[in-house]
Chains A and B, each alone.
Chain A
Amino acid sequence: MVTLAELCIVACSEAFRGNGEVIATGVGPVPRLAASLAKLTHSPELMMTDGEAYLVEDPVPLGPRGYDDRKAAGHLPFSRFFDSAVWTGRRHAMVTPTQIDRFGQINLSQLGGTHKHPKTQMLGVRGFPGNTIYHPNSFFFPAHGPRVFVEGEVDMVSGVGYNPAKRIAGGNYTGVDLRLIVTNLCVMDFGGRGNAVRVVSLHPGVTFDEVQAATGFALEKGELAETAMPTDEQLAIINRLDPHNIRGSVIKDNPPAKRSAA
């Protein structure tokens, strides 16, 4: 049975379609499988690493494998990552922040309290400030809910969004380019009025009202379609790239793609 995770992988892979020769970075199992699937199907021009420092033309599978199984076609270490990928805009990253708000501002740093004394410390901003001002970004959330899609603004703005009040006057924000949001319920983009978040497709059996109820801010309604099911070819590639079925642990209870099949 096709799983919801597999449907999400295919939906996420669409974010990388036609991006050109850029580094496709998927952080986490679903985004990474999505970037790899995109490269192996509709967008072979994409570039990607083995997750460490080598560029590979054949995406590496998830999980345990021989260290030298990956065949390096090039080299892109962190020591050159800002020069070569981020600050030159030659990258599209798909990540999973802890929070996102109606402006597309994201948070990976801390929750609650103050900056000096946070209630919950997370990773830190990592590369989010640079990623979001220089190159396209998309997002995947395995558990769509109001704690992720927050009312108001995120607790700590770690990535640039479309919030005019947050933009220091005179700065160059032309690189800010938020693309797709894929969740366990739907696919959204920033194509609403003033870059508002807009639902563009619903996963099989999901209603717009359900998505709205799980979101802390008002959503716009696009030309709603049903999210496409994976094809047999896509499923075969996903299987090969994830031989240990790590994708099965991403969404709670690993539900099927079609709710009626439950």
Chain B
Amino acid sequence: MLDKRMTPAEIVGELRDGMTLGIGGWGPRRKPMALVREILRSDLKDLTIAAYGGADVGMLCAAGKVKKLVFAFVSLDAIPLEPWFRKAREAGQIEVLEVDEGMFQWGLKAAAFGLPFLPTRVGLGTDLAELGDLKTVQSPYEGGETLIAMPALKLDAALLHVNRSDWRGNVQLFGADVYYDEWFAKAAAKTYVSCEELVDKMEDHYPEQAQANVFERCFVSGVVEIAGGAHPSSMPPLYGPDMKAFKAYADSAREPGNWAKVSDRFVGADEASYLASIGGKEAVMQTPLAIY
């Protein structure tokens, strides 16, 4: 069987300048932040990022990695407005394709199925079509309804953080909501997952939880174990969002100077020193789940 284990550096080594990357999770929830930090430590640039955005988007924008962003929102929940994303936007620094949350997943589904677009009513009557240069199509059936053609969001690579995987890429996802990770995986040419727990053969360890296999291993190209790898975002049911860390990150956007001045605190020279700086993975595991 194919052994898909990689190091974070090997995963980022597969990425190229100018690529379109999808990042799973939702706002400050279930983000592959350790892999995002690895990108922040790299020379990658001119990326197009597609995400239900949180600090992943904020940090990549702040670091100047983003050429274009495909988004419906960027938010840290309890801190509604993502300050580093705002800074980048208000500096006119990035190109954007702004879409509705539902259109976004529709675009991922179009890409997953190899379609150029999927039709939807969503976007009609708003500024989205004009600003995003979205085209319309007419139904060939009775009624001839005009619909927005949501273009496929084809991803060169997707980055996801999951609860478990084995070395063949049999993943298991838990928690109250797994958002659209399945569709990021299927929309991407290559999907790289970090996981809280890596086992050798899933069937030998957790066969009774096979229903948590939200997407199949043919959609997984690389796997790496990074316990606490979603920090500071949440990873239910293991740990919640680290709001203290998010607040420090948000406050730092108001300090004089740019991202380079503060990035050490939020990225670190490597993942081990980052984890050590926040009290180790034990501290991450103790962060309570969010109450909404």
A: which residues have CB within 8 A of B? 50-54, 63-65, 67, 77-79, 82, 86-87, 105, 109-110, 113, 115-130, 132-134, 156-161, 163, 166-173, 175-176
Instruction: From the candidates A120, A125, A132, A170, name the one contacting B138 in the complex (CB within 8 A).
Output: A170
The answer to whether A116 touches B125, judged by C-beta atoms less than 8 angstroms apart, is no
If the complex has contacts A79-B179, A171-B146, are A129 and B126 also in contact, measured as CB distance less than 8 A? Answer: yes
A-side contacts of B225, CB under 8 Å: none
7 pairs across A/B with beta carbons < 8 Å?
Answer: A77-B176, A77-B179, A119-B90, A124-B73, A127-B101, A170-B136, A176-B125
B: which residues have CB within 8 A of A? 26, 53, 71-75, 80-81, 85-86, 89-92, 95-96, 98-103, 105-106, 121-129, 131, 136, 138, 144-147, 176-180, 182, 288-292
Instruction: From the candidates B75, B127, B138, B291, name the one contacting A67 in the complex (CB within 8 A).
Output: B291
The answer to whether A167 touches B124, judged by C-beta atoms less than 8 angstroms apart, is yes
B-side contacts of A117, CB under 8 Å: 89-92
State the CA gap A156–B89 with chains docked (Å): 15
Instruction: From the candidates A121, A123, A156, A167, name the one contacting B127 in the complex (CB within 8 A).
Output: A156
The answer to whether A132 touches B81, judged by C-beta atoms less than 8 angstroms apart, is no
Instruction: From the candidates A64, A116, A120, A129, name the one contacting B291 in the complex (CB within 8 A).
Output: A64
**CB nearest to B90 among chain A residues:** A121
A-side contacts of B124, CB under 8 Å: 133, 160, 167-168, 171-173
**CB nearest to A82 among chain B residues:** B102
If the complex has contacts A79-B182, A126-B73, are A53 and B125 also in contact, measured as CB distance less than 8 A? Answer: no
Known: A119-B90, A122-B81, A126-B101. 18 other contacts (CB 8 A): A50-B292, A63-B291, A78-B179, A82-B106, A115-B127, A115-B131, A117-B91, A118-B89, A123-B81, A124-B73, A125-B98, A126-B72, A159-B126, A160-B126, A161-B125, A166-B125, A167-B125, A168-B129
CB distance from A241 to the nearest CB of B (A): 14
If the complex has contacts A52-B292, A78-B177, A79-B180, are A116 and B122 also in contact, measured as CB distance less than 8 A? Answer: no
The answer to whether A121 touches B85, judged by C-beta atoms less than 8 angstroms apart, is yes
State the CA gap A123–B74 with chains docked (Å): 6
If the complex has contacts A121-B86, A127-B102, A160-B126, are A171 and B121 also in contact, measured as CB distance less than 8 A? Answer: yes
A-side contacts of B72, CB under 8 Å: 124-127
A-side contacts of B292, CB under 8 Å: 50-52
If the complex has contacts A121-B89, A170-B146, are A134 and B121 also in contact, measured as CB distance less than 8 A? Answer: yes
**CB nearest to B69 among chain A residues:** A124
State the CA gap A110–B96 with chains docked (Å): 13
Residue among A124, A132, A156 having the largest count of chain B Cβ atoms under 10 Å:
A124
A-side contacts of B85, CB under 8 Å: 121
CB distance from B74 to the nearest CB of A (A): 6
State the CA gap A78–B180 with chains docked (Å): 8
The answer to whether B127 touches A157, judged by C-beta atoms less than 8 angstroms apart, is yes
The answer to whether A129 touches B128, judged by C-beta atoms less than 8 angstroms apart, is yes
CB distance from B173 to the nearest CB of A (A): 10
B-side contacts of A82, CB under 8 Å: 101-102, 105-106
**CB nearest to B144 among chain A residues:** A170
State the CA gap A140–B180 with chains docked (Å): 30
Across the A-B interface, give the 7 residue pairs with the lowest CB-CB distance, nearest first: A117-B92, A51-B292, A170-B146, A160-B125, A77-B177, A121-B89, A53-B176
